[in-house]
Structure 1
């Protein structure tokens, strides 16, 4: 856990339930709302202040909570003890998904190439019923080479590990990680001003 996340967890502990959920979404989705990343996956569980209970209670207010009209969400998997939610910027996700190499890659996993983003997300949701499908990486903005590297190496033999396991272009990945951190730092600053 990096210092940025530790600072966030400490700050978040002083918030009421609604603010806690709001801050959690805003912090983790910051790279998406900063338009640096197409999407982020958040897992709400019964642990840590029962974020699942908070999600179930306040999910209908999510767009108000995050104060961002560009951010959309869908529950990809739900059980009695957890909910896995994809928060995404529709425009950026479409740009990430609807490229020839990504569509060809997704087609090899059973996705239809001549379809809408909603249909592609629906297929992703169906694939989550069995396990976490590795192709989710392209939805999260992870470079194709790193997604394929992860699959081929079964998560081992990576060159660097940050927001994802890097199998090529470490310098570029580190710059991207820095951009993500800057977006999160901005949210952290805004949250600390509210306390």
Structure 2
């Protein structure tokens, strides 16, 4: 083979090696397949995602009148009428939230304050929130297996360990719901009540269980 032939062959071979080298160098493994689904968030009504009880779930007063309470039509355990009568001294007030008569259930006639079914006892309670206020109520860990909050949601929703009350922006708002206690309905139930702009406050409520430790 002549010198020119060898030279041409060398150039051609070098070009092929260069192309092959570029091809090999450019090769990359395909990216790992992304996880098609992300972990679902906490369910509504859980401690991490309290059930919202909003303006549309409550009632606001007519001009010149006190705030009323919502009806509980549709709940199978719902008693007629309004929450237990109270003088105000048994109310629990934390920030903009007032739970009416909640401290007055330590003793007396359970049937006068609640409704019993196969699940347990449902104690009808009125709640009111000052205009624009927002407060989260959470059942303490000590009684979450037995107690729950029955505010907001439809009739198919069971008791929740946590709810967030949010009043209408321009008016105090009242809500009617219940506290649920399983079994015989007698327990000391701790509540952690946290206004949106303040630290939580622990309150222990006696549901026909006599005096409870603070």
Could you state the TM-score of these two structures normalised by the residue count of structure 2?
0.25
The structure number with the bigger radius of gyration is 2
Task: Give the strand-richer structure, 1 or 2.
Answer: 2
Compare the two structures and name the one with the higher helix fraction: 1
